[in-house]
Chains A and B, each alone.
Chain A
Amino acid sequence: MKSMSTTPLSSVSSGKQVHIVSIEAGWGLQRRLTDMGLTPGLKITVIRSQKSGSVVLDVRGSRLALGRGISHKIMVRTPDN
């Protein structure tokens, strides 16, 4: 059975693929992320996960860097376990 537990993006380690479940941010930030290609439901790869919680993602083929303030607010689900 698939587990449906979600975790913040900041806690995902480098190299993992995850699905975005929700972006718990205000309208402005949500829209900015949308413009950069990050939308709920999307499958992304975490390229780098820094100690600080900031991350570099592969989003639709581009490299997107997010500060820790945001990566805490993006809830993701790992495909299995």
Chain B
Amino acid sequence: MVKKEKNRITVALTGNPNVGKTTLFNNLTGSNQHIGNWPGVTVEKKEGSRSFKGYDLKVVDLPGAYSLTAHSLDEVISRNFLVDENPDVVVDIVDASNLERNLYLSLQLLEMGVNLVIALNMMDVAKSRGYHIDAGQLSRLLGVPVVPLVASRNQGIDELLETITCVAEGKIHIDRLKFSYGHEMDEEIAKLESAITAGALSQKYTSEWLALKLLEEDEEIVKKFEELKPDGEKVLVVKNNSLAQLARIHRNAAGIVIADARYGFISGLMKDVLKKPAAEKVSISDRIDRIVLNNWLGIPIFAAILFGLFQLIFNLSLPLLNWINGGFGRLSESAAGIAPDWLGSLIADGFIGGVGTVISFVPIISLLYLGLAILEYSGYLTRAAFVMDRLMHRIGLHGRSVVPLVLGLGCSVPAIMAARTIENPKDRLVTIMVTPLISCGARLPIYVLLAGAFFTAYQGLVIFSMYFLGIFLAILFAWLFRKKLIRGESGHFVMELPAYHMPTIRSVLIYTWLHTKAFLRRAGTIIFIAVMLFWLLDYSGVIEPIGRAIAPIFSPAGFGQWQAASALIFGVLAKEVVIGAFGTMFAVGDGALGEAISTQLGWTPLAALAFMAMCLIYIPCVATITTIKRETNSWKWTGFVIGYTLLLAWAVAVLIYQIGSLFIA
């Protein structure tokens, strides 16, 4: 293997979910991170860099995986990266308090023949449970370096970096671990190996690994051989003979026998490496779970946590919001005096009124992400999935659908990407289709503005009702889609409940910062461009006729003015633009904007409520649409989501206005 650049080391981070991979990644790379287009949960490919002793380390964070079989997208991503990019060093992060199960992945990495370093994380948790782990012994038995860590306290990072460079320099040589899968299995593997040897695939993979994967009936690898005519077919014949032979000896499928052999090998290791106290105490995690997973309390606790989060965000951020708006208001007034006229208008209406208004929502958005970070990093979100599984099952979704739906409170884009962890394609599709109905952070500014202007006394309640409406519709439509459109069994619930962890302040802040940054970047790019374009079209009088043409459609919903229709059109670019567009049209900053809407448009509170519902439900923003297309890989379903949300939004807005009018009249 020739390295492309002498001083560059590519390091891949891998490990089971929830072992502290993100924490370690943050420790290693600090703020030198680059996250694809959108900061996802951990499904996105994250890259970072770090210099150490004259080396330039490129660190790639692979999605968390339990195994390297080909049956989940995340695992395939990891595996292909390891094969195609051939990183110099692979760091497998292993949870020391859950060693036995974690080493299963390590063994598979060793089977692949990668340059492995085991990072033994959560040493503090292991110690507090009274576990004694002999890292040196583990290293000797596996033939790879093992570095103990406490990632959350930044302990052991230098030793890890040191080890990584030593492995990259070739100072530590890593042999392929040899262990027996059982006498008969070993024989069949050897047979297959010699059948494979000459093939084209052995350039990338070792033939031993290919043999193993064939016997495990790995879809990806089998397909590769099918495509490899005629050599591949011969190999597949040998494989089928081997499987038939093994079926005569073993009661279980060959894949299970191989897995059993791995686990058996690990249990053997455990005896030499891990000493547990004779009588283990019931761990704190298990004690918390007794309450959190309780038959009666589970769901109420989940609801209370969401409600509490919501309350906290509002009570903390509303005063801040008003304070910032005051500042923008004054700024806007002084800018309006600038000559020439159009420049004054551009700065006051377009820039401060439009973009400034959007930016004033930064505190709310960051607090929202802060809350979501805590829910996610503490390990609670997986409990929520378990507790909700039965309910979700009733509506035809999967317990895991709870995770994207909760994350959807932040932004639909990472939420839809998080749906990747749902294995059943139908469950996943329906989850993706209803996630945009969950009210995201971008829609919040609209509610805050309108509720503040029209429902002074009941602000909080009105905003909450929008969230509730979103959740209600998501559930209703998930159920409808599963009943009528996308029928079939929903998938089984299998999930690890990671031990609870106190999230570190650092990782929570990084998560919050990354998402806030993404919001600011949006404000600086797409929202800025959209609002500026809107200002231009408005200033030159182009927008009004378009708005007027569409406006009558919304008359039955009470907001049939051209301004509302125009704002809605541009809101598809990003929902925040709705507010920016109003700011531009009424030439006022956020402080006076609510009032301007009520006096100049003559809306009743009911019309405002209908408009909020419209903004909540109608067409997801462009970024979300793109994500839906990418994740479903189907224009048909993407188009369907656009269509049904638009119709539903209109219907709900009209219903609110019409039914409400009956009561008020």
A residues lining the B interface (CB < 8 Å): 25, 27-37, 39-41, 47-48, 50-52, 54, 56, 59-70
Contact A39–B256 (Cβ < 8 Å): yes
* B363 contacts A by Cβ under 8 Å: no
B497 CB contacts on chain A under 8 angstroms: 56, 63-65
Contact A61–B100 (Cβ < 8 Å): yes
For the complex of A and B, list the 10 residue pairs with the smallest distance between their C-beta atoms, beginning with the closest.
Answer: A67-B493, A35-B67, A63-B497, A60-B100, A62-B101, A34-B259, A35-B66, A37-B101, A65-B386, A70-B492
- Report the Cα distance A30→B382, complex, angstroms: 21
- Report the Cα distance A52→B293, complex, angstroms: 12
Q: With both chains docked as a complex, state the minimum distance between the C-beta of A43 and any C-beta of chain B, in angstroms.
A: 11
* B634 contacts A by Cβ under 8 Å: no
- Report the Cα distance A51→B382, complex, angstroms: 19
* B595 contacts A by Cβ under 8 Å: no
* B521 contacts A by Cβ under 8 Å: no
Contact A35–B104 (Cβ < 8 Å): yes
Contact B256–A34 (Cβ < 8 Å): yes
B259 CB contacts on chain A under 8 angstroms: 31, 34-35, 39
A41 — nearest CB in chain B belongs to which residue? B260
The size class of the interface chain B forms with chain A is 35 or more
- Report the Cα distance A61→B125, complex, angstroms: 13
Given A37-B100, A37-B101; A63-B285 close (CB under 8 Å): yes
Q: With both chains docked as a complex, state the minimum distance between the C-beta of A19 and any C-beta of chain B, in angstroms.
A: 14
A56 CB contacts on chain B under 8 angstroms: 289, 293, 386, 497
A54 CB contacts on chain B under 8 angstroms: 386, 389-390, 493
User: Can you name 15 extra interface pairs (CB under 8 A) apart from A39-B259, A65-B494, A65-B495?
Assistant: A25-B492, A30-B256, A34-B256, A36-B494, A40-B252, A48-B289, A48-B290, A52-B390, A61-B99, A63-B289, A64-B495, A64-B497, A66-B493, A67-B390, A67-B493
Q: With both chains docked as a complex, state the minimum distance between the C-beta of B213 and any C-beta of chain A, in angstroms.
A: 13
B285 CB contacts on chain A under 8 angstroms: 63
Contact A64–B493 (Cβ < 8 Å): no
- Report the Cα distance A65→B494, complex, angstroms: 6
* B286 contacts A by Cβ under 8 Å: yes
**A31 contact from B255, B295, B382, B495, Cβ within 8 A:** B255
- Report the Cα distance A30→B67, complex, angstroms: 13
- Report the Cα distance A32→B256, complex, angstroms: 10
Given A31-B69, A48-B293, A59-B101; A67-B399 close (CB under 8 Å): yes
Contact A69–B493 (Cβ < 8 Å): yes
Q: With both chains docked as a complex, state the minimum distance between the C-beta of A56 and any C-beta of chain B, in angstroms.
A: 6
Contact B71–A32 (Cβ < 8 Å): yes
Contact A27–B253 (Cβ < 8 Å): yes
* B85 contacts A by Cβ under 8 Å: no
Given A39-B263, A65-B497; A60-B255 close (CB under 8 Å): no
A31 CB contacts on chain B under 8 angstroms: 69, 71, 255-256, 259
Contact B493–A65 (Cβ < 8 Å): yes
Given A54-B493, A66-B493, A70-B493; A47-B98 close (CB under 8 Å): no
B386 CB contacts on chain A under 8 angstroms: 54, 56, 65
**B66 contact from A36, A39, A65, Cβ within 8 A:** A36
Q: With both chains docked as a complex, state the minimum distance between the C-beta of A40 and any C-beta of chain B, in angstroms.
A: 6
- Report the Cα distance A39→B104, complex, angstroms: 13
* B176 contacts A by Cβ under 8 Å: no
- Report the Cα distance A56→B259, complex, angstroms: 22
Contact A61–B101 (Cβ < 8 Å): yes
A30 — nearest CB in chain B belongs to which residue? B256
- Report the Cα distance A60→B71, complex, angstroms: 22
Given A35-B104, A61-B99; A40-B66 close (CB under 8 Å): no
- Report the Cα distance A44→B241, complex, angstroms: 35
- Report the Cα distance A29→B256, complex, angstroms: 12
- Report the Cα distance A33→B104, complex, angstroms: 13
- Give B359-413 interface residues, CB cut-off 8 Å to A: 382, 386, 389-390, 393, 399
Contact B399–A36 (Cβ < 8 Å): no
Q: With both chains docked as a complex, state the minimum distance between the C-beta of B287 and any C-beta of chain A, in angstroms.
A: 11
- Report the Cα distance A45→B244, complex, angstroms: 35
Q: With both chains docked as a complex, state the minimum distance between the C-beta of B488 and any C-beta of chain A, in angstroms.
A: 14
* B84 contacts A by Cβ under 8 Å: no
- Report the Cα distance A61→B259, complex, angstroms: 17
- Give B69-117 interface residues, CB cut-off 8 Å to A: 69, 71, 97-101, 104
- Report the Cα distance A51→B390, complex, angstroms: 11
* B341 contacts A by Cβ under 8 Å: no
- Report the Cα distance A33→B497, complex, angstroms: 14
Q: With both chains docked as a complex, state the minimum distance between the C-beta of B99 and any C-beta of chain A, in angstroms.
A: 7
B100 CB contacts on chain A under 8 angstroms: 37, 60-62
